[in-house]
Copies of this chain bind each other. A is one copy, B any other.
Amino acid sequence: MLKILLSNDDGVHSPGIHHLANYLKEIGSVTLVSPESERSASGLSITMHKPLRTKKVNFFDDSINAWCINGTPSDCVKFAIDSLLTETPDLVISGINHGSNLGTDILYSGTVSAAIEGAINDVPAIAVSLDTVGKCDFEPYAKLAAKLCKQLYENNIKKGIVMNINIPYIPIGEIKGVKVTKLGVRRYKNCFIERLDPRGKSYFWLAGELDNKDFNNFDTDVGSIYNNYISVTPITFDLTSYETITKMKKWNIANINDLQ
């Protein structure tokens, strides 16, 4: 039976992970290890300076072993694989996240980071996000996501690769299909808003308006979602720019005497 490790960044109480767990148990045995509270925008941060505690949680049915941890999504997956699970999982799945994880934004995403942590540990991994900001019903998207995860797994996701799935929040019947995409570009302008506290001192909120240039670029995740397709973007954690290495061979930087 397929051994699935499920995590997320919205925390163990989020409906996205509950609905996904319920459908994933139809395709495998599910162990859930998730942050005890929301950890959005945590990136691939890990907890080095405070101790981690784990707690068994019981609000799933008996077929799902579930724990929560006072750490980040990366902590959860690392801890589960290293210390909690008796066998290495076949697949790490993270989600369903409440909100998209597209383009450059995935670098900040706790959801994607949990999946990357799986890939770093040589376990095929999938991140799933639903492109919505308000209240939503995850149920039909969870059903669809579980089936898509199974399809992707059966096609042999290579070790070290994460499949980043984003689903448009429109009625299921209106979704046009699944596109294999690259990461698009997402930029924000006016990122910070200044406010004054009751003592007249200023503070700032991270905000920002989306300045999106890839809306109609179907090759990108951003364009696919905008045009009612599910996007699946394969991502790697090897950030080396090999193209730049080739160019740098001509640079004159190797001489240590020039630096003293």
**Is A13 at the interface (CB under 8 A from chain B)?**
no
Question: A210 at the A/B interface (Cβ < 8 Å)?
Answer: no
Which residue in chain B gives the minimum CB-CB distance to A204? B52
Chain copies in the assembly? 2
B244 touching A239 by the CB < 8 A rule?
no
Q: Measured between alpha carbons, how far is A203 from B245 in the docked complex, in Å? A: 43
Please provide the chain A residues from 134 to 165 with a CB less than 8 Å away from any CB of chain B in the complex.
144, 147-148, 151-152, 155, 158, 161
Total count of chain A residues near the partner, CB < 8 A = 83
Would B191 and A107 count as touching, CB distance under 8 A?
A: no
Whether A234 and B245, one on each chain, are in contact in the complex, defined by CB atoms closer than 8 angstroms, is yes
Complex CA–CA separation, A201 to B53 (angstroms):
9
Q: Are A236 and B235 in contact (CB under 8 A)?
A: no
Distance to closest chain B CB from A161 (angstroms): 5
Chain A's interface: helix, strand, loop or mixed, by majority?
A: mixed
Q: What are the residues of chain B within 8 A of A176 when measuring CB–CB? A: 256
Known: A43-B46, A79-B192, A104-B120. A172 touches B260 (CB 8 A): yes
Tell me if B41 and A43 are in contact (CB < 8 A).
no
Beta-carbon contact of B258 and A191 below 8 Å: no
20 A-B contacts, Cβ less than 8 Å apart? Answer: A42-B45, A47-B206, A52-B204, A53-B201, A54-B204, A74-B108, A75-B206, A82-B190, A83-B191, A148-B259, A151-B253, A152-B251, A155-B248, A161-B241, A161-B244, A177-B256, A178-B253, A182-B245, A183-B238, A183-B239
